[in-house]
Structure 1
Amino acid sequence: YGASKLGGELAVRTSRARHAIVRTAWVVSAHGNNFVKSMLRVGATRDELGVVDDQHGSPTSAADLAAALLTITVRLIEDDAAPTGIFHFSNAGAVSWSGFAREIFAQSSARGGAVAGVKPIATTDYPTPAQRPANSLLSHDAIRTAYGIEPRAWQDALSEILDELIGAPK
């Protein structure tokens, strides 16, 4: 898991081109296939879901990631002295997958959407082809210092996604 990402990073870093590599994790949005949409879909048909509780990270709004990338791109174009290298971006705050699912359903419920109970399970109880890290948390220090990007809380980003998918809280 991640070998192709590392290969891409190495190719960019060794090319000698000015670059900014932005690492991210747990990307979600109102579009495409992702954890938020999966939870809502499955939660609409089941009373309880088993969700991994021993992997931690921070969800990343695709819209917030795009805004961060735009900020970096514009600065790289306009400022020859703009910082280069590797930066991390995700929304702020830490949560397990099961905690994320619980928050999805709590916010969905407030909008009249799908609600399901969340049963915490171990990674070993939910095998996947790719081995996932127990800790996917990313430090925002470099992107904050270099570009002044201050990620907002993942709960606020989730609320915006659910506004688009379900509507505003009732």
Structure 2
Amino acid sequence: MILVFGKTGQVASELALLAPEARFLGRDTADLSDPAACAAQILALKPDAVINAAAYTAVDKAEEEEALATVINADAPAAMARACAERKVPFLHLSTDYVFDGSGDQPWRPDDPVAPINAYGRSKLAGEQAVAASGANYAILRTSWVFSAHGGNFVKTMLRLAATRDQLSVVADQIGSPTPARAIAAALLSIAAQMQAGTRSRGIYHFSGQPAVNWADFARAIFAKANLTTRVVDIATSAYPTPATRPLNSQLHCNDLTNDFSIQPPDWQSGLEKVIEDLTR
């Protein structure tokens, strides 16, 4: 049995569709602000593998709640990983491109220097480091710009705004890789199965959609796929200030995951078509 922390988030929702036989723990039964309780669930339920698909993801709010974000994004996965080490079962954990500073113009590799520029990124990096130090058989999957038909994300925001506006201003100097949550869920399940079979253990991997794009062009692709005529105006990040600084370069280099697990980066454009179908049918 695979135990999944998370129930209503984007990736957890897709995991539930792909692996309905898994056991899913929502906030009502496993609150990540109580790391010890999360570890106790693993020890009590005795799963064959654990996937942590839950996190504190309010990037701007984390600037005010960094302590809470760190408990949820670092202390909880650390406790989970230690419980998995005790049980000798694989632990899979989702992380983010925000552990990097966003400099340069090349895709980030898993072993590149980390230097988060906001509280959310710091909390996720602390989680990575704690999991790596736990003694567990672990895989950390960094991803970026996640979208799906579930929860809150850029695709749903653009479609909502386009319903009442003919023109939208969107940041064009941040480049990254949109990633369908469904592809992330499928990758996690494949990694978990291979780790259970002893194929590979311990490492940080990158998984994101291809090709890279900026937010404004991503918005244009969304409107094109949805047959909307909303016009997109390119603006600079400086014209759209937010409490948390965003990285300008969120591209991820995914070859290690392909080499070790034979998992290819997804085509985000085909994933976008599916999500829009799900949202409009």
Distance across 2 between alignment mates of 1:129 and 1:20: 31
Aligned length in residues: 162
Partner of 2:162: 43
Q: TM-score, normalised by structure 1?
A: 0.92
Equivalent residue for 1:34, pick from 133, 153, 173: 153
Partner of 2:255: 141
1:83: how far off? 3.8
Partner of 2:22: none
**Relative CO higher for 1 or 2, CA cutoff 8 Å, sep ≥ 6?**
1
Tell me if structure 2 keeps the 8 A contact 1:26–1:59.
Answer: yes
Is it true that 1:93 corresponds to 2:211 in the alignment? yes
1:127-157 deviation line (CA, Å, top 9, x unaligned)? 1111111110001111000000012211111
Give the ranges of 4+ consecutive aligned residues of structure 1 lying more than 2 Å apart after TM superposition.
none
Unaligned regions of 5+ residues in structure 1, if any? none
Partner of 1:84: 202
Distance across 2 between alignment mates of 1:161 and 1:66: 14
Partner of 2:41: none
Distance across 1 between alignment mates of 2:130 and 2:229: 44
Partner of 2:88: none
SS in 2 for 1:129: coil
1:84: how far off? 2.2
1:68-98 deviation line (CA, Å, top 9, x unaligned)? 011101111121x414200001111110000
Is it true that 1:72 corresponds to 2:191 in the alignment? yes
Give the alignment's Cα RMSD to 1 decimal. 1.0
1:166: how far off? 1.6
1:1-170 matches, cutoff 5 A = 1=118, 2-79=121-198, 81-109=199-227, 114-167=228-281
Q: TM-score, normalised by structure 2?
A: 0.56
Letter matched to residue 272 of structure 2: L
SS in 2 for 1:46: coil
Tell me if structure 1 keeps the 8 A contact 2:137–2:201.
Answer: no
Identity %: 50
1:76-131 deviation line (CA, Å, top 9, x unaligned)? 1121x41420000111111000000000000100xxxx441100000000111111
SS in 2 for 1:119: strand
